[in-house]
Amino acid sequence: MIERRGLGRPMAHLVLIVGLFIVAFPIYYTFVASTQSLTTILRPPLPLTPGDQIGANYGEALFGGIGRIGGVAVTTLLFNTLVMALGIALGKIFISILSAFAVVFFRFPLRMVFFWLIFVTLMLPVEVRILPTYKVMVDLGMIDTYAGLILPLIASATATLLFRQFFMTIPAELVEAARIDGAGPLRFLKDILLPLSKTNIAALFVILFIYGWTQYLWPLLVTNDNQMNTIVIALRKMVSFADADTPWHMVMVTSILAILPPVLVVVLMQRWFVRGLVESEK
Amino acid sequence: MAKIELKDVRKVYAGNVEAVKGVSLSVEDGAFVVLVGPSGCGKSTLLRMVAGLESISSGTVQIGDRVVNDLEPAERDIAMVFQNYALYPHMTVRKNLEYGLKNRKMAPAEIARRVDEAAKMLEIGALLDRRPGQLSGGQRQRVAMGRALVREPAAFLFDEPLSNLDAKLRVQMRAEIRRLQRRLRTTSLYVTHDQLEAMTLADTLVVLNAGRIEQAGSPMEVYERPASLFVATFIGSPAMNLLPLGEQGIPGLTAPEGLFSRTRPAETLGIRPEHMRVVDGEAPRPEEMRFDLTVSGVEVVGAESFVYGTLPKGGSEIAVRVPGYSHAEPGTPLTAAADTSYLHRFDRETGRRI
């Protein structure tokens, strides 16, 4: 680490504090707004300290239901979004580990063709294939279902590539030692490959969870029922162009609640990253 | 415990590259056979074919009374020790040792007994709860040996297991492997490129070159009667001195009357450095050859020195072993002598011993 002397240190801190303020203030201001009544918000200026409506606002949002989105409670929204984000993250990890496993450790005809096919899907994100995907989902009757929210987003070339690169760093002798020790392919995957990949999995999980949590376009299309909305979609629906119609205090509450789970995931998983970095096992 | 029998084993890779060109070899029950050869001679490929990690293009491999050509490595009843140890990094030492046994659905009590026994034998009892990352190279090597030991297999296969250790540890582990093998009497096949390792470990030494067996025999047999020029130069350090015999004999070499009349011209003579000595004025004995050399360099090893000298008229360089410290000065003349009974003779065309 570089030791800074004299003015360097306070300067560095000043820059950090200013940066932190720029990033954190809007979030703080959102929180403040979420504790005010609608009338206070609509009559500027907005106070800089939390108001007295915190219990009422959060209670109503979480357990009562919000009128603008058909009286659905934020708990329902949170649950929907959680199912989708977890489904996407875990599904992507599951599928890409299996496909990377096949591509790296098995010799079969057209192996590289399959690998390139997976690779090519990088060029076909959801936005590009949205119409055919929507048609397929309609035909399968998956509109307004969790499966419909999750399945089209599961295939992941990026994660497959990441695991492929990692699997290729595993020494051939380790694979051979396992073969001699009587571990078949699936047991090798379970007993050796997965434990060795856990830091990769953890890192990927964080990225994919946030990717899933912030999905907008696909959930907007595939959910019609208010009960199936994700929190991002609901937030969008709450905001009306006529200011008076928008329950701003509820929007702020929902925003804060929408931020919390991804923040939690990052904070909790951070320890895994560090442990994975310190404990180099290979 | 079992005998390993290889019959005309071949390995052909894609593109018609033949790595092993028909090897027949029989490893007796309880024997320690070392495969030695330069890199790319096919020794590792051969071992991996016995292990089942490499398919066999033709020929048969038999372990015990089973032909194992089509069996999975796990079904062949062998255990292998790898060069880079190949320990499972996320498992403790105990788990590493247990893993192969657990996969075979062995009773927990039996697993525990075997692990404890192996740990005691290898003195790794204190390390059982550590992970490979927390061990030194030598300790990892012990654990790798332990993993083979607990299996109590029909045969041990070693693939250059000591190559990653430092010189001192290598000597120590070498002795230990030998002792363990003597004690357990498990048939062992050991691959190395280090001829010193090969000489000290083997009951039977098999020298491989370019996918073929050059010679198989006890280490002393191979050393004293190398079957070919290749073996002669590969085994022994410094390598055997080679003298291509021309029409006019060898310039600078005085041989007893009649020695070369028995030889054909297309011949290469060989003599080991330790069978040569520096002559200091005494008269030649009748059975002695004499070399008139110009000293080109001296290597002092400690207990002995090697004096290198060249024969006149651009002749070969000859190494002479001298006990202790040599005071020979480069550029000065030197006379060396050797008994003709130590002479090796090879056909220069075929490289075979005459």
DSSP code per residue over A1-31: -----TTHHHHHHHHHHHHHHHHHHHHHHHH
How many angstroms separate the CA atoms of A259 and B247, rounded?
Answer: 94
- Between helix A248-278 and helix A194-213 the angle, nearest 10°, is 160
| Largest pairwise CA distance in chain B | 76
Residue A202: give its domain's CATH number.
1.10.3720.10
Task: Read off the pLDDT of each residue in B125-150 and give the average, rounded to a whole number.
Answer: 92
**Residue A46 located in a structural domain:** no
For residue B247, is pLDDT > 80?
no
pLDDT at B205: 95
Name the residue of chain A whose CA is nearest to B85's CA.
A173
- Domain residue ranges in chain B: 4-233, 238-347
Fold classified for B238-347 = OB fold (Dihydrolipoamide Acetyltransferase, E2P) (2.40.50)
Name the residue of chain A whose CA is nearest to B144's CA.
A177
The ipTM assigned to this model is: 0.84
Return left, alpha or beta for B67; rule: phi > 0 is left, psi -120 to 50 is alpha, else beta: beta
Residue A47 pLDDT level (bands cut at 50, 70, 90): confident
**What residues of chain A lie within 8 A of the CB of B91, using their CB?**
195
More confident residue, B222 or B312: B222
Name the residue of chain B whose CA is nearest to A276's CA.
B90
pLDDT at A64: 78
The Cα angle at residue B215 between residues B211 and B219, in degrees rounded to 5: 125
**Residue A198 located in a structural domain:** yes
When scoring A105, A180, A280 by the number of chain B Cβ atoms within 10 A, the one with the most, hence best to mutate, is A180
Residues in chain A: 282
**Residue A41 located in a structural domain:** no
Q: What is the DSSP string of A192-203?
A: IIHHHHHHHHHH
Name the residue of chain B whose CA is nearest to A187's CA.
B103
**What residues of chain B lie within 8 A of the CB of A105, using their CB?**
none
**Residue A55 located in a structural domain:** no
pLDDT at A282: 42
Domains B4-233 and B238-347 share a fold: no
Closest CA to B43 of B75, B83, B86: B83
CB A93 within 8 A of CB A206: no
| B120 inside 8 A of chain A by CB | no
**Residue A183 located in a structural domain:** yes
How many angstroms separate the CA atoms of B127 and A254, rounded?
Answer: 54
Q: Could you tell me the residue range of the domain that residue A250 belongs to?
A: 69-278
Candidates 3.30.390.10, 1.10.540.10, 3.40.50.1370, 3.40.50.300; correct CATH number of B4-233?
Answer: 3.40.50.300
How many angstroms separate the CA atoms of B232 and B344, rounded?
Answer: 9
Lowest-confidence range among A60-74, A164-178, B29-43, B77-91? A60-74
The shortest C-alpha distance from A20 to chain B (Å) reads: 39
> A183–B80: do the CB atoms touch at under 8 Å?
no
For residue B128, is pLDDT > 80?
yes
Q: What is the pLDDT of residues A83-113, one digit of tens each?
A: 999 999 999 999 999 999 999 999 889 988 9
**Residue A173 located in a structural domain:** yes
Q: What are phi and psi of B78, to 5 degrees?
A: -125, 160
**Number of structural domains found in chain A:** 1
Q: What is the pLDDT of residues A209-238, one digit of tens each?
A: 999 999 998 998 888 888 888 998 888 888
> A176–B53: do the CB atoms touch at under 8 Å?
yes
**Residue A11 located in a structural domain:** no
> A173–B88: do the CB atoms touch at under 8 Å?
no
How many angstroms separate the CA atoms of A47 and B76, rounded?
Answer: 78
The shortest C-alpha distance from A101 to chain B (Å) reads: 18
Task: Read off the pLDDT of each residue in A163-183 and give the average, rounded to a whole number.
Answer: 92
Question: Shortest CB distance from B103 goes to which of A173, A183, A282?
Answer: A183
| B72 inside 8 A of chain A by CB | yes
| B78 inside 8 A of chain A by CB | yes
The shortest C-alpha distance from A19 to chain B (Å) reads: 40
The shortest C-alpha distance from B54 to chain A (Å) reads: 10
> A173–B86: do the CB atoms touch at under 8 Å?
yes
CB crowding B84-101: b at 16 or more within 10 Å, else e: bbbbbbbbbbbbbbbbbb
Return left, alpha or beta for A3; rule: phi > 0 is left, psi -120 to 50 is alpha, else beta: beta
pLDDT at A281: 46
For residue B218, is pLDDT > 90?
yes
pLDDT at B310: 92
**Residue A43 located in a structural domain:** no
pLDDT at A72: 82
